[in-house]
Structure 1
């Protein structure tokens, strides 16, 4: 059931959900088409990594400034601008004759998607209150997750129907008609632009430090260091940008200005740990999906439609799991996320083992079965973890908390996509045996990311219990509400 009784509010929610589906479906649809795009445009490994990772990088870096601009300038105009840029760049990428054009279009497209989604989060918070707001944000998270999971199946269908060389272009054009319809409805149904916050100054220095840190983590996987000196320079760049970010945040806070990471968020262990859990899960999930598509088509030589059929059970499982996740939450509380992370590790490790041990003829069927486990794990993790993170965000930073959470996920996705796809592309030399080994190695890296998330889940549970023991009785309900019971935001 849609939240709220107001017809206008329900229309706003439908526009926001349509925008989320349009922008989040786009990347997962392209994932299954990357091998065909690579062959059609003769794209190199570096260009492939930028095509799959650049979208998430631009998406993530625009979220926080986009949200801040929406607070100050109003959201409707920025929503329409971002979605227009997204649709236009979809057409440019789909009609490109060179891989470099696709890379550039995907970067701008990602920025447009980030601008749109930052306005979606702010609009839902402006229009809905209380339980209706929780349900709206829950619907947004679940809808986006299911759309991402369905993307490979839809992309594979296009690859199977369209002639060779046109399938990947159809995948990029898929979001255009939906985007145009969403633009029309948004122009009619979104509330007029209005300022909801005073201008406090955007932390450009913090954003530049985040961008520098992300690129310092990404680029070594794209441009392999040729010597120990180059590797040392990359390490220095990572440490330097991280140190500058921390120092800059402290300096802005002391000067009375609002830093990129609100001080109250930095002081909230539950928020910080939950965001780190989301980063590990999101980056691992997207990277595993891209590498699986590359392996099925480039390594095993399966047609796109067959490769999509292998991933389809995972999408169905995620949809079902997302629908029942809040029933599990009522029984297990925050341990639902821990269960999802553990289940995900089992699934990815099983994929790595299957890749090197199962006969080639049976391997697609085994991987399809394991996708059910992976999809169920994602459904148990994504929406409950988001609710837990935002529930424990301090009230004075509730708005920026959602933007930083999404930014952290997208930055993690950019790094993980470039790193894990680079591991596979460099290890798979065109032979079946090397492709199987490279896929297993990439899967082990994804399992390692999920293992970090699992450890952080356990640490968060201990931290939450300790905080509840220290809190006065009248504040315990708010701090521990998801640990014992939860209203169902769906």
Structure 2
């Protein structure tokens, strides 16, 4: 079957080429494969938090190694998102997805088999690089396979996976450690990826479509100078945040200056490269599209507040209240339940309500987190973890109305041939937000902890998380109010380089 053929199932043994070859059932089957891989990569952002005490005991690892078990994955993951998205656009999303999945599975095995702290850190960096290869292909494949309201529903399901994988990680990690024991239980936090990765790799080979615009890899298509400039800029930007507690003194923040220079150099190079008829790593004209730049900015602030919640909550529950890893994970689970329940609804409603739906979600998250801080004040001692359940459920219900709908609106007007690099940029904003949020919340948390009160330290950190969520809410409200106070302008259109008109989907931001 060729890419120009009509819909319907391909003959046995022949894999589909483009999204046009896929029947509705095949599209949703392909999406299920993407979601399985996305669940694995995002789960490994949060599941390791509760495993750190077990890793310390099992490997006799110092604090510096434990920090790099977390930050090494996050750094590597964030650095490759945009280049990986561009690589998928150029070489083929299916091929890059499978490469990343194979590497992720092998790196997970290496993590589980680690015999020293250094071994584990190196394996975690490799795992992060592989996860960064996979993640932008998922959003790009959704862009490629779905359109209109169906695309919103697909992103809604993906949003459910994002919320659940991030929030359920502590519970699953705690359960695995409880079953396997504190000494070796941490290894199963990584080994759990092996059967999932193997099954997903087989299904990806069979079910995922090719990328119609893909071709032979050339220097002109991959923009190696842009890759180096962006990578160096992001590395110098993220390092002082992820090492905020390990690098004492204020000198580390000086790295932000060369980071800014490198990122400005990246923007100038991308314009020059495009004028020379090269294919830029990131088409900067995308940032003339209101829905795109606004969605990237909003999600940066939201992830600064969203992911930092689990960082301080896990520390407070395990170290402050003496919860086991399993109980600490269970106490945070209401957020995951709420997010899972509402994300699918958000995906279905975003085509009808647009940005106001996200505004409602952000309001619920801010109120839920504020209620969580109040619950810890009103209920002291070990009962505080259970008092958090109701407010966390409300925050989770709101979160489900934020992540997937924002991704749908942000990528809606992006031409499909640029979907990978655009999705990589959006997810880079998420990773930068996470690093900034954890550093800021952690600094406030540990400053208050120095006074010896875990409860007040948790409340102070949580209020910083609320402040980031409120900043995202202000951005969303400004957009909603601005659109109502003035005639709706024509959206700036990103050039599609001859790839056809804008696909039908959710209009505006």
Could you say which residue in structure 2 is the equivalent of 1:22?
40
After TM superposition, give the deviation of residue 313 of structure 1 in Å.
1.4
Distance (whole Å) between structure 2 residues aligned to residue 144 and residue 165 of structure 1: 30
Could you say which residue in structure 2 is the equivalent of 1:212?
232
Deviates more, 1:118-127 or 1:106-115: 118-127
Pick closer, same or farther for the CA change 1:130–1:452 going to 2, 3 Å. closer
Deviations 1:43-84 (A, max 9, x none): 444433332233233223222222322233333333222111
After TM superposition, give the deviation of residue 86 of structure 1 in Å.
0.7
Distance (whole Å) between structure 2 residues aligned to residue 422 and residue 36 of structure 1: 24
**Could you say what secondary structure the match of 2:222 adopts?**
coil
Contact 1:468 1:479 (8 Å CA) reproduced: no
Deviations 1:410-429 (A, max 9, x none): 23323433554465457646
Pick closer, same or farther for the CA change 1:388–1:127 going to 2, 3 Å. closer
Distance (whole Å) between structure 2 residues aligned to residue 195 and residue 323 of structure 1: 30
Contact 1:313 1:369 (8 Å CA) reproduced: yes
Deviates more, 1:49-58 or 1:193-202: 193-202
Could you say which residue in structure 2 is the equivalent of 1:487?
none
Distance (whole Å) between structure 1 residues aligned to residue 508 and residue 453 of structure 2: 45
Contact 2:376 2:387 (8 Å CA) reproduced: no
Distance (whole Å) between structure 1 residues aligned to residue 203 and residue 295 of structure 2: 34
Structure 2 spans left out of the alignment, 5+ residues: 1-18, 492-500
Residues 1:360 and 2:360 aligned together:
no
Could you say which residue in structure 2 is the equivalent of 1:266?
287
Deviations 1:301-333 (A, max 9, x none): 111111122012111111112133256547753
Contact 2:445 2:461 (8 Å CA) reproduced: yes
Residues 1:438 and 2:426 aligned together:
no
Residues 1:456 and 2:468 aligned together:
no
Could you say which residue in structure 1 is the equivalent of 2:167?
149
Pick closer, same or farther for the CA change 1:50–1:447 going to 2, 3 Å. farther
After TM superposition, give the deviation of residue 138 of structure 1 in Å.
3.6
Contact 1:34 1:294 (8 Å CA) reproduced: no
After TM superposition, give the deviation of residue 223 of structure 1 in Å.
5.2
Residues 1:91 and 2:113 aligned together:
no
Q: Spell out the pairing of 1:114-129 with structure 2 (5 A cutoff).
A: 114-129=132-147
Residues 1:314 and 2:335 aligned together:
yes
Could you say which residue in structure 2 is the equivalent of 1:302?
323
Distance (whole Å) between structure 2 residues aligned to residue 109 and residue 62 of structure 1: 12
Contact 1:319 1:379 (8 Å CA) reproduced: yes
Which of 45, 65, 71 in structure 2 is aligned with 1:53?
71
Q: Spell out the pairing of 1:227-242 with structure 2 (5 A cutoff).
A: 230=251, 233-242=254-263
Contact 1:53 1:417 (8 Å CA) reproduced: no
Distance (whole Å) between structure 1 residues aligned to residue 248 and residue 128 of structure 2: 31
**Could you say what secondary structure the match of 2:138 adopts?**
helix
Distance (whole Å) between structure 2 residues aligned to residue 122 and residue 32 of structure 1: 32
Pick closer, same or farther for the CA change 1:328–1:13 going to 2, 3 Å. closer
Contact 1:53 1:418 (8 Å CA) reproduced: no
After TM superposition, give the deviation of residue 182 of structure 1 in Å.
0.9
Deviates more, 1:208-217 or 1:264-273: 208-217
Pick closer, same or farther for the CA change 1:35–1:226 going to 2, 3 Å. closer
Structure 1 spans left out of the alignment, 5+ residues: 484-490
Pick closer, same or farther for the CA change 1:217–1:61 going to 2, 3 Å. closer
Pick closer, same or farther for the CA change 1:427–1:180 going to 2, 3 Å. farther
After TM superposition, give the deviation of residue 372 of structure 1 in Å.
0.7
Distance (whole Å) between structure 1 residues aligned to residue 59 and residue 226 of structure 2: 37
Pick closer, same or farther for the CA change 1:391–1:74 going to 2, 3 Å. closer
Pick closer, same or farther for the CA change 1:7–1:323 going to 2, 3 Å. closer
Could you say which residue in structure 1 is the equivalent of 2:408?
387
C-alpha RMSD over aligned residues: 3.3
Distance (whole Å) between structure 2 residues aligned to residue 426 and residue 105 of structure 1: 32
Distance (whole Å) between structure 2 residues aligned to residue 98 and residue 380 of structure 1: 42
Pick closer, same or farther for the CA change 1:86–1:425 going to 2, 3 Å. farther
Contact 2:105 2:194 (8 Å CA) reproduced: yes
Distance (whole Å) between structure 2 residues aligned to residue 181 and residue 426 of structure 1: 45
Contact 1:57 1:413 (8 Å CA) reproduced: no
Distance (whole Å) between structure 2 residues aligned to residue 191 and residue 137 of structure 1: 18
TM-score, normalization by structure 2: 0.82
Distance (whole Å) between structure 1 residues aligned to residue 161 and residue 338 of structure 2: 14
Give the number of the structure whose residues are more often helix, by fraction.
1
Distance (whole Å) between structure 1 residues aligned to residue 420 and residue 334 of structure 2: 35
Contact 1:19 1:179 (8 Å CA) reproduced: yes
Pick closer, same or farther for the CA change 1:339–1:43 going to 2, 3 Å. farther
Could you say which residue in structure 1 is the equivalent of 2:494?
none
After TM superposition, give the deviation of residue 26 of structure 1 in Å.
2.6
Pick closer, same or farther for the CA change 1:269–1:466 going to 2, 3 Å. farther
Distance (whole Å) between structure 1 residues aligned to residue 260 and residue 146 of structure 2: 41
After TM superposition, give the deviation of residue 296 of structure 1 in Å.
0.8
TM-score, normalization by structure 1: 0.85
Deviations 1:229-274 (A, max 9, x none): x256334234333433343344334444443331321212331111
After TM superposition, give the deviation of residue 453 of structure 1 in Å.
0.9
